[in-house]
Structure 1
């Protein structure tokens, strides 16, 4: 059997509701800032995590004509990551591309249907290349001029984490030396908001803005705030990074996936626990090694309880001493991009020894009784290993283990 390679993260790009870059996002999360607010389009009618950055900046109009906002987000985040990575042309040509998205170019699709029926004016856009789910991966591959594989994953809310995990496996097992992997999502439109409303999972917006809309693990939580954004990570074998004098941010050392096999919407604690356990086993890790969990925790009544139960099952008594936080109160739930954004934030947390807080936390749910890092970021200078959980509708569960490098 071929010896497994060590896989490191050497660059991160992000665009979220609280920052145009990875550093801006992490600093805002650490400062406890919230980006969930009213969208400029009054037809959306709810507070959401929308991106304020000009994600089309620097692109030729002919390029933009073929790109949905979901691809523009991915292109923006990939551009930042690649600029920091400093790959040369030969390395770019051998760089794999792995992208997760929940739905792809749905904004263009909605606009095209409305234009067809005369509801809105026609816009100069090429609908098919803009809406195909693999468009973000294809455009990043073109940025790189790569001849390596370019793959797309659509596993709902776990898609970004799956993309990172699959890229990790390719490098660990010797198929690639370098890859860019992450997730992207952009579905903030009245039509899609109406579709989400059917499921009764979106949070209520309190009149007092200080209370927050999305409140993971809290007694009076009512659901999640829909969001958009993207995160892209450059992954390399440790040898490849060392050969070009790249300075790693952190190491990915475990990846676990499972499927609930129970219900298309309701999560299952057995499946979630299995993903975490498989991740630990994959990395040769024990529960006691873990010092922090970045939770999936969307703010739904059932989901947060089930994840808490799964954590207790895997970690036993150690769960009581384990900091667990969710960033969805700050940026909302970016569906297919969520797992990638959270993995990126987890890597930065491990690297910096600071974990972001769970905003707007209110105790009182006796089934959510762990240490949720309420209100303010926590300094954990001895943090060595963290998990990032991502659980998707349809039953896909994904956990990534991220370790600090000495």
Structure 2
């Protein structure tokens, strides 16, 4: 079967900056940090850490009170992002409004934690507050497929609806698998992306126990996440949601849709070596595989949106993998990690970074690793670290990397709209 071209016709984000899509990209391009100091009076010990929150997000305003009340926050963020992407793609909410046959249209969604907070809240009610029962909505709010179920219901999508969980590669894999469905001609339209929240007591405490969270204080929280920097000391957690509408190219052209970018290729594999330690060989295989899948050569790539979490071990291995794949081209290969400004959104990380990468090729502009500022770890040298946002006329293709706990690697290749 001939491969179909896949257009990105809708993009939506719920980000810590508030505002719309263009405002989001402008701030990321400017290196404006959304990291703030989070202090929560939790017993037995307060939580104090750099964090990224979607301040100002009002789910009842975005979704309406009846719908929002049926959702945990990860679903509220995800469905709101999907609504924004759907509007951006120019589709009516109801098939009856535009006469479309959506029986084969579907939704693939990524989340790492899903509705964990709903279950945590129920446990607190039972064991700490002495309640005899929990909310009857706990199951449907806490299930990991809640977001994609709501999206499918809201838009009347009759095709496959699936939730993907693979730590911080979750939404990249969801996007990639949705891409495969459209490319194979199985679905003309797919809604895809991811959402997560990380500010529950147990989640923050768990990451704190692993000793991978960035340190900081209220005055310096904005610069806490410093991927590739010599003085980096860990990642910054965050919350958010991002969505893409993927569409058969001919279908998009026939209806006169605006095309942000073309999704050219996708690859995923497993390191099969360690639960939390990244593996250079596995990342190299994934990078080579996405180039082959997209029909691209190394010299076609003009930007890498790196996984770059600012952990001591992960950053050098990713750079080494890029050097292995790009060889003599690596010193001129622009690389940045936008987690430096929007934090690590776990299961939503790949989706928000996919949006950034799609906008980079659309706008011909490359965002920076905002907090690097020249203090590069010698082990991370050998690529063109982007220290300030730059224009990139002629940017034809870019990659978005997600390298996750569990050994899951996933990479997406985006091309400029033609």
TM range (shorter): over 0.9
- Find the counterpart in structure 2 of residue 267 from structure 1: 278
Tell me the CA shift for residue 95 of structure 1. Answer: 2.1
Tell me the CA shift for residue 32 of structure 1. Answer: 1.6
> How many Å separate the matches in 2 of 1:392 and 1:132?
22
Tell me the CA shift for residue 21 of structure 1. Answer: 3.1
> How many Å separate the matches in 2 of 1:382 and 1:328?
25
Counterpart check, 1:284 vs 2:295 = yes
Tell me the CA shift for residue 338 of structure 1. Answer: 0.3
- Find the counterpart in structure 1 of residue 384 from structure 2: 371
- Find the counterpart in structure 1 of residue 339 from structure 2: 328
Note closer, same or farther for the CA distance 1:307–1:180 as it changes in structure 2 (3 Å cut): same
Note closer, same or farther for the CA distance 1:172–1:20 as it changes in structure 2 (3 Å cut): same
- Find the counterpart in structure 2 of residue 16 from structure 1: 15
> How many Å separate the matches in 2 of 1:58 and 1:391?
32
Cα pair 2:34 2:222 within 8 Å, conserved? no
- Find the counterpart in structure 2 of residue 76 from structure 1: 80
> How many Å separate the matches in 2 of 1:210 and 1:104?
26
Cα pair 2:111 2:348 within 8 Å, conserved? yes
User: Which of 318, 323, 329 is the equivalent residue of 1:307?
Assistant: 318
Tell me the CA shift for residue 118 of structure 1. Answer: 3.5
Tell me the CA shift for residue 60 of structure 1. Answer: 4.2
> How many Å separate the matches in 2 of 1:59 and 1:280?
39
Stretches of structure 1 that go unaligned for 5 or more consecutive residues are none
Tell me the CA shift for residue 330 of structure 1. Answer: 0.1
- Find the counterpart in structure 2 of residue 242 from structure 1: 253
1:254-301 deviation line (CA, Å, top 9, x unaligned): 111111000000000111111110000001111111000000000001
> How many Å separate the matches in 2 of 1:19 and 1:386?
26
User: Which of 220, 225, 230 is the equivalent residue of 2:236?
Assistant: 225
> How many Å separate the matches in 2 of 1:20 and 1:128?
32
> How many Å separate the matches in 1 of 2:189 and 2:180?
11
- Find the counterpart in structure 1 of residue 26 from structure 2: 27
Tell me the CA shift for residue 126 of structure 1. Answer: 1.0
Mapping of residues 25-174 of structure 1, within 5 Å: 25-39=24-38, 41-42=40-41, 43-52=46-55, 53-88=57-92, 89=95, 90-119=100-129, 126-174=137-185
Note closer, same or farther for the CA distance 1:196–1:125 as it changes in structure 2 (3 Å cut): farther
Cα pair 2:104 2:186 within 8 Å, conserved? no
Structure 1 stretch displaced more, 188-197 or 14-23: 14-23
> How many Å separate the matches in 2 of 1:20 and 1:186?
19
Note closer, same or farther for the CA distance 1:55–1:64 as it changes in structure 2 (3 Å cut): closer
> How many Å separate the matches in 1 of 2:39 and 2:149?
30
User: Which of 208, 211, 214 is the equivalent residue of 1:197?
Assistant: 208
Secondary structure of the 2:168 match is: helix
Note closer, same or farther for the CA distance 1:256–1:234 as it changes in structure 2 (3 Å cut): same
Cα pair 1:21 1:77 within 8 Å, conserved? no
RMSD: 1.7
Structure 1 stretch displaced more, 115-124 or 145-154: 115-124
Tell me the CA shift for residue 93 of structure 1. Answer: 4.7
Note closer, same or farther for the CA distance 1:91–1:225 as it changes in structure 2 (3 Å cut): farther
Cα pair 2:308 2:315 within 8 Å, conserved? yes
Q: TM-score under structure 2 normalisation?
A: 0.93
Note closer, same or farther for the CA distance 1:343–1:31 as it changes in structure 2 (3 Å cut): same
Cα pair 2:194 2:351 within 8 Å, conserved? yes
Note closer, same or farther for the CA distance 1:117–1:257 as it changes in structure 2 (3 Å cut): same
Tell me the CA shift for residue 190 of structure 1. Answer: 1.9
Secondary structure of the 1:182 match is: strand
Note closer, same or farther for the CA distance 1:149–1:286 as it changes in structure 2 (3 Å cut): same
- Find the counterpart in structure 2 of residue 397 from structure 1: 409
Tell me the CA shift for residue 56 of structure 1. Answer: 3.4
Give the count of matched residue pairs: 404
> How many Å separate the matches in 2 of 1:95 and 1:178?
5
Secondary structure of the 1:140 match is: helix
Tell me the CA shift for residue 382 of structure 1. Answer: 1.3
> How many Å separate the matches in 2 of 1:191 and 1:296?
24
1:23-59 deviation line (CA, Å, top 9, x unaligned): 2221111122111102363443111111112233243
1:182-234 deviation line (CA, Å, top 9, x unaligned): 01101212221101112111111156527710100000101100011111000
> How many Å separate the matches in 1 of 2:183 and 2:190?
11
- Find the counterpart in structure 2 of residue 343 from structure 1: 354
Note closer, same or farther for the CA distance 1:364–1:65 as it changes in structure 2 (3 Å cut): closer
